[in-house]
Structure 1
Amino acid sequence: MTAPRVLALDLSITATGVCLPDGTTHTIATQQKTGDARLKEIERAITEATFDVDFAAIEDLPTHAKSAGVTGMVHGVARLVLLRYGIPYAVVTPATLKAYATGKGNADKTAMAIAALKRTGREFADDNQCDAWWLRAAALDWYGHAEFTMPQAQRDRLSKVTWPELAEVAS
């Protein structure tokens, strides 16, 4: 079975990190002066990114911010796009993603970037791209297609995520 084509999203109203199935990353940057119209920009960009995707991984809101207004709206837009195109997705809490990447659930953005650099030599334009890249790596690892080796204790953290069945993901 081939690896699922994973789209990973670190959602934000100002700078959404995107990791495409081939591992390339970019940021969907919006301007505050455009107000809620930024949601349409994000929707368009995510829609374009869904081409030839089997599965998406989204970084969840932090537990203390579950009802955060603006970021919650971005999550709604992203999930609506994925639902529209029938793309199953998993929502990964920031603490789980950080623990997978670094071994510490409270790691900061620098630790995430250092972990990527040490494991693969990858550097990113911003922390949003780095988080999206780690989301893709976690999803591929969960589905048995890891691109690099991670300590088992860190891999075990992925069991906290509700992942769709592989039959729903792989074609």
Structure 2
Amino acid sequence: MPDLFTPEVPAATTAAGPRALRILGLDLSITAPGIACPNGDTVTITAKQPGDWRLMEIEAFIHTVVAEGVDYAVIEDLPTHAKAAGITGMVHGAIRLLLMTENVPYVVVTPATLKAYATGKGNADKTAMALAAFKRTGREFADDNQCDAWWLRAAGLDWYGAPEFDLPKAQRDRLAKAKWPQAVAR
């Protein structure tokens, strides 16, 4: 079995042979979490409930995606110096508990690592992230939450040996800063 930091992890297999990895990208917040589903679709959850009740809506939506099959989740880490970190932390806790309950391994990637992976610069802004996605794949997003979630999914696919596009080695090497779970047989 590959060790924790071996990027050449084989694709998951089924009785019918190899299948694509199912990576879920999560840019979590209480107001508008961005989700990149395993099939590549992106969505922003616009919770309708007030306050903490939004946690239930967010968890229910993500549970629906997880129930369809997820091999790994890639989550953008909490903001370090923001008042919103406490509120966003509640969302992280609810979703991490869901993933653990459903036996979905996950990794937390810092915003600087994600930005450096996507653009080559750890301090890139939201426009640079969107532009990098457009240049690589022609993708456009409804908002920056979907864009970040999409890059998180792309990072997971790349780390586990199934990149959807080429990036310079220096950008790909930035992913080693995260503590990726080992490949698991499913």
Same fold (TM over 0.5): yes
**Match for 2:164: what amino acid?**
E
Q: Which is helix-richer, 1 or 2? A: 1
Instruction: Please state if 1:135 is matched with 2:152.
Output: yes
8 Å CA contact retained: 1:56, 1:88: yes
Distance in 2 between the 1:3 and 1:154 partners?
23
Q: Which residue of 1 is the match for residue 54 of structure 2? A: 38
| TM superposition shift of 1:49 | 1.2
1:86 is aligned, of 103, 111, 114, to 103
Q: Map Cα deviations across residues 94-153 of structure 1 (whole Å, 9 max, x no partner).
A: 000000000000101000000000000000011000000000000100111000000000
**Match for 1:80: what amino acid?**
L
Instruction: Please state if 1:5 is matched with 2:22.
Output: yes
| TM superposition shift of 1:52 | 0.9
Q: Which residue of 1 is the match for residue 81 of structure 2? A: 64
> How big is the alpha-carbon RMSD for the aligned residues of Structure 1 and Structure 2?
1.5
Distance in 2 between the 1:46 and 1:165 partners?
22
TM-score (norm 2): 0.86
8 Å CA contact retained: 1:66, 1:72: no
**Match for 1:37: what amino acid?**
W
Q: Which residue of 1 is the match for residue 70 of structure 2? A: 53
Instruction: Please state if 1:26 is matched with 2:43.
Output: yes
1:126 is aligned, of 143, 160, 164, to 143
Distance in 1 between the 2:80 and 2:39 partners?
30
1:139-158 map, 5 Å = 139-158=156-175
Distance in 2 between the 1:62 and 1:70 partners?
11
Could you list the runs of 5+ residues in structure 2 that have no partner in the other structure?
1-10, 12-18
